[in-house]
Structure 1
Amino acid sequence: MTDIASHRGGARLWPENSRLAFRNSAAMAVDFIEFDIHRSRDGVLVVHHDPLLGRTSAGMGAIADKDWAELREVALLRTSDETIPSLDEVLDILEPSGIKLRIELKNRGDGSRYPGIEAEVVEALTQRRLLDRTTFTAFDLETLGELASSAPATPLIWLISEKVLAAPARDLGALCRKARMAGVPEIAVRISQAEDADAEICRREAIRYGLFAVHEEADIKQAFAAGVSAFTTDRPDLAVALRP
């Protein structure tokens, strides 16, 4: 069965990566709640999509350049009184629900990785006995390689960026083989780049196939019809309603 992942807690329904979104998504019949992790300058794991403040939150500057004492006071836009949450705060909300977690580890604004963040996230989840409910995703294959070493039994998904799939020539089979060599058993492609043959290519390469950015009704129906492993959506309500 195709799994539904509520992207950033359902970003077209509620403010993305907000406590409100996570509480509401956890009450829905979705399989996963997806969210993103950065790290503050003083080592706190922070739930926020962009490496920079300003699009979904007040302020400006890079999360990696600010201490948690400052970040915890930064207002989330489109909310009445919410601020940027830490990973621990989000886990406090999601842990009692029993819902599965789909966690994307992000890079800094310059594309560099946060040194050691993989082991820190694994440890945080292990301490709360949530690692067996978690799937990790990343656009950075090296990040997933580190996670494969830190948590070898935890599911991993390589998110294939538009640039990686498009250049120098579209070769999904080669990307599948690259994922397999890195110990990553699943890939996900942006639905706007998906082609009819992709599922079969992945099957031949023994790699599971999923989609992301599946927000419109026609796209959701396409994902279900293709029988993909899972997809992320900003409209979890619509996905649940359309599930076969």
Structure 2
Amino acid sequence: MSQYILNFKKFQPLLQELVARDIKIKYRRSVLGVLWTLLNPLCMMIVLSVVFSNLFKFDVENFPLYLLSGQVVFTFFSDSTTSSMTAIINNASLIKKIYVPKYLFVLSRVFSSFINLMASFTALLLVMVATRAELHWTVLFVPVPMLLLVGFCLGIGLILSAITVKFRDIMHLYSVFVTALMYLTPVIYPMSILPEWLYPIVRLNPITNILLMFRDVMLNNKGLDIVSLVVAIIEMLIVLLIGLRVFYKSQDEFILNI
């Protein structure tokens, strides 16, 4: 374990450069640049709030905040895992030339998405101030669901990046999967409207658990539920360990397929 820590410290400057590069590439030739990390969630919130507030009469207090909080969580999952999927393929030229711990490329994608997550979280705070929503002391627990989300997404990203090197069709199938998963996550709708047969399916979704935890501490003035917290930790660790195992077993063959 000490060898892995020393190796990580050795290549930490490279990781910082990779994260900076990913952010620059994403907003290259954009007039507003990184400001879009704030504007994107706000614009989506306005559009979806207008549409769903009129089409569906959800009994949700301050629906724009409810919607934006869901977007913050799910958008990070979608962005981090989707970008991680091509982390190895897109860095093939560097991997072929020199030795670099290959997991750094996946880490850089997750970390760059995390920076966007922080910007989206700032947008959420701004909306709370603008709508005069009460900011409860439970917001101090926000790092917990966020860290669980990052660990979960890193595990998924490691799995996807390793599989995509061999099976490029995953890139096309995953976008369909993410769309379906969004509707199985209470981003737009409250859990109370779900029929009995669908409720347990949505509840089993690991992102649902993290999202509900996030909303509880941000909007509902509730502390962390111990059962939900333990379940989320176990789910995150399982996915992360599987991701590390799959990535470790596959990385020696990357050079043959990229």
Q: TM-score, normalized by length of structure 1?
A: 0.25
Q: TM-score, normalized by length of structure 2?
A: 0.24
Question: Which structure has the larger Rg over C-alpha atoms?
Answer: 2
Which structure carries more relative contact order (alpha carbon 8 Å, separation 6+)?
A: 2
Which protein has the bigger strand share? 1
Which protein has the bigger helix share? 2
